[in-house]
Structure 1
Amino acid sequence: MGGRSCPGAVPLAPIFLNLKIICQEDGPSGKVSQATMTEPAHDRFLPLFLPVQADLRAFIGAAVRDVVTREDIFQEVAMILWKKFDLYDPARPFGAWARGIAIRKILEDRRLQGRLPESCTAETLEALSHGFDADEAEASWKDREKALNHCLEQLPERSSRLIRERYHQNHSIERMAEEESLSLDAIYQILSRLRRQLRECVQRRLGLTFE
């Protein structure tokens, strides 16, 4: 596609332009059609896709040895992710969703083009994907821990102290109520509010909430 773009296409970051998924060739005629996506959906797609694209390439590369074939499949998978982003469930890791689509595309290529070995089965690809799932889970936990520590640092001193006493030092609600000269219900309400604030802060840091 070279440097062509679609008329009226949503502008993309330079790194994403290189993926050649703004437009696609529509059949033998070479007619260029636009991969449509609303502005809000586009704004949500890039922050999710860019961090996982290297792993997605690695996943496809682990299953497909031929350089040209693996790049073709990667470009096709990227286009599918872009077009079907409205079907993505944000409660599910984006990388796992992307690999699921990649698996279907790899198997389709093997069936239609015969460019991949018979040993490249659905079971083999699923097992390979599970290995990536484990790596993502570890990275996700580290990201959450880092985000939580940042959010805790943003709390007022008293709020931070109450969180530490309850969840780090295992102080009882009764002890905290006595030390703060508050009722049990008041302590419960304070802790509930602080948990909600921390949860929302962590979600913002990780980009998990879409408006």
Structure 2
Amino acid sequence: MQESDVVRVLLEARIRLTVPIWSIVRESQAVEDIFQEVVLRALRQREQINDEGHLLAWSRTTAKNLAVDWLRQRGKSQVMDGGAMDRIWSISDDQAKGLSDRKDALRRCLKKMPERNREMIQLRYGEGLSCIEVAKQIGASLDAVYKRLSRAHRDLRRCVEGTLHGEVTQ
């Protein structure tokens, strides 16, 4: 394949590749780094790649392996089982676009959230702490953490749904 064809195909498939990478590593910068590494490796391997279908299959496998390696290098465990991961890697362009839109809406809604709730969400999901660990970290009871997380989930869901449907949210 020509260099320009490799770049074009991978850029067109960017969302389809990066959403599943994110589902493994859960760090935006790592997703970008892994995607760029896939592109570089594809360019180096382009002589062995037969066509677009081969390139996409090769890229999915390479991206998945790089994402899992990224986790291992940081001593992190995989969040989901292999079957769930395989389903994510087989999503369509429309499904990937929907997930990307939802992720963007979630990011916007998190920015609107009160700082205390945003910090708790970061501790629980960004850093992977248990609710007990979050409670200790923020100096609250476990029951209070459960209630605040429940309200935060509800508020985020409403905000994301409103954002996706074009409604103005606070």
TM-score (normalizing by structure 2):
0.45
TM-score (normalizing by structure 1):
0.38
Higher RCO (CA 8 Å, separation ≥ 6 residues): 2
User: Which has the larger share of helix?
Assistant: 2
Return the index of the structure with the highest Cα Rg: 1
